[in-house]
Structure 1
Amino acid sequence: MGNDNSMKLTQKNRDEVLQHINTVTEILPNIYLSSRHAAEDPNTYKLNGITAVLSLTTNLTKYPQNIKTKHFHVQDSFFFLLDQVLTESLCWLIEMVNSGHKVLVHCEVGVSRSASVVLAYLMMVNHWTLKQSFLFCKAKRSVVCPNPGFIIQLYQFQIKMGIKDTTENSLFVKGLLTQSNTLYREVPVRALWNSFLENGFSYEKAIKDHCRVAASASRSA
């Protein structure tokens, strides 16, 4: 009986997570965050007055007519470099918002890829640290959890934007990496973080170092 109850609890938790994932979350009055499933539902646009969509998936999605769309092919992988995507997607978001559009930002489940772009947007427009942006977004959408590689790159984005760092913020980022690593267990978080710091806050160099070390270890095995 104990095993049956445990399975029911697990199923209940899955249902709750699924419900949160497919919820259309208003992060700001003109920025919404959700999943691909919600993005394909015409009611998402009717009920929220959404007129533009930013997609960050590996799949193309069908949207209602007369919706402005922008798609970036983004993999939810710690190997994926976000820099160019952030630059172009944020420019497009600003253009849409300034034109009076309400924008839905989505990936597959609205947890990592699209959440990372929304976090970067909050950092840029409010001049917030990653901690401030994450806590604000998390309070609106509880399932938000970028993969560890994206978290490090968002921290890099904060530095690039000239947003003042604090000990409190950097400690929060390290804790967030640990939390994210429970979902993305294959990511060598500690090694990547240390390499990121050693390479002058360059995630691209950190990834190259990781690949070089991994290749060397493979040859030695």
Structure 2
Amino acid sequence: MLKIAVHVRLEHMLQRLRCLQDAAATARPTRLLDHLWVGGAVEANSLHLLRHLGVTHVLNATDDLLLPDPDAAFRSLRCAVRDMEEEDIGRFFDSAAAFIDAARESGGAALVHCHEGKSRSVTLVLAYFMQAKEWTLKQALDFVSAARPQVSPNAGFMARLIRLEESLHGTKTVKLKKTKPEPRVCPVCSDKVGISLQSLSVHIRTKHSEVAADYEPLLRSCDSPK
């Protein structure tokens, strides 16, 4: 009986794994235009599905995911972007737009993807709409968000898109959400002590009174009104 129970449980596990594999294999990117799709790594790996959808060009907006195999007959372009706020994604706006337009002009379609299809790939797509269709950032963001609600460019990418909009249209239609300030770090114990200079001063004087004199210039600057 025990062997039978183990066998049944194993079959159930294998069946569940097959279901997960099938779901991954059939993940669909999001269609934005006849010649433009956006998605993540799973969608980018579904090569048979991409061919069925008419995708001929694959833009990889990561520095680590593999490009399609040359034998797969896709045109490919890597924009090696890290999903970090300090990354200058703007240096890829022109090349990404040209690649997407090349797909359109050839009668095909481009897939723009990153890991999750939320930040890097979406930023390049938003820039494309602003450049190619002369949309404002708000128009582009509303359009893409309606089709793919999970879109979420990081704050640094949004700041770069806002600068692009200002340079293209002389306007600013989206406000950058303020990010929470980074807490200050105590130079003595490396603890995070709050976001104000005063909190750093209080921490050093109460927790490290034995060395507070060594930090007197710093403490005076913390105490002085700004």
What TM-score do you get using the length of structure 2 for normalisation? 0.64
Aligned counterpart in structure 2 of residue 60 of structure 1, from 48, 65, 75: 65
- Per the TM alignment, residue 95 of structure 1 is displaced from its structure 2 partner at its CA by 2.2
- Per the TM alignment, residue 160 of structure 1 is displaced from its structure 2 partner at its CA by 1.8
Q: Residues 186 and 94 from structure 1, CA distance in 2 versus in 1: closer, same or farther, beyond 3 angstroms?
A: farther
**CA–CA separation in structure 2 for the residues paired with 1:61 and 1:186:** 35
Aligned counterpart in structure 1 of residue 167 of structure 2, from 147, 160, 172: 160
Whether 2:32 is the aligned partner of 1:37: answer: no
Which residue identity does 1:158 align to in structure 2?
E
What TM-score do you get using the length of structure 1 for normalisation? 0.65
Percent identity reads 26
- Name the counterpart of 1:173: 175
Which residue identity does 1:137 align to in structure 2?
V
**Secondary structure of the equivalent of 2:102?**
helix
Q: Residues 33-112 of structure 1: matches in 2 within 5 Å?
A: 33-63=38-68, 65-112=72-119
The structure with higher relative contact order (CA 8 Å, sep 6+) is 1
**CA–CA separation in structure 2 for the residues paired with 1:44 and 1:148:** 33
- Name the counterpart of 1:12: none
**CA–CA separation in structure 1 for the residues paired with 2:103 and 2:63:** 22
> Unpaired runs of 5+ in structure 2?
1-22, 184-217, 220-226
- Name the counterpart of 2:211: none
**CA–CA separation in structure 2 for the residues paired with 1:41 and 1:23:** 8
**CA–CA separation in structure 2 for the residues paired with 1:187 and 1:98:** 46
> Unpaired runs of 5+ in structure 1?
1-17, 189-219
- Name the counterpart of 1:130: 137
- Per the TM alignment, residue 97 of structure 1 is displaced from its structure 2 partner at its CA by 1.8
- Per the TM alignment, residue 93 of structure 1 is displaced from its structure 2 partner at its CA by 1.8
CA RMSD of aligned residues (A): 2.6
- Per the TM alignment, residue 100 of structure 1 is displaced from its structure 2 partner at its CA by 1.8
**Secondary structure of the equivalent of 1:105?**
strand
- Per the TM alignment, residue 141 of structure 1 is displaced from its structure 2 partner at its CA by 0.5
- Per the TM alignment, residue 113 of structure 1 is displaced from its structure 2 partner at its CA by 0.2
Larger radius of gyration: 2
Segments ≥4 residues shifted beyond 4 Å: 185-188
**1:36–1:61: 8 Å Cα contact kept in structure 2?**
no
- Per the TM alignment, residue 58 of structure 1 is displaced from its structure 2 partner at its CA by 1.8
**Secondary structure of the equivalent of 1:46?**
helix
Q: Residues 48 and 135 from structure 1, CA distance in 2 versus in 1: closer, same or farther, beyond 3 angstroms?
A: same
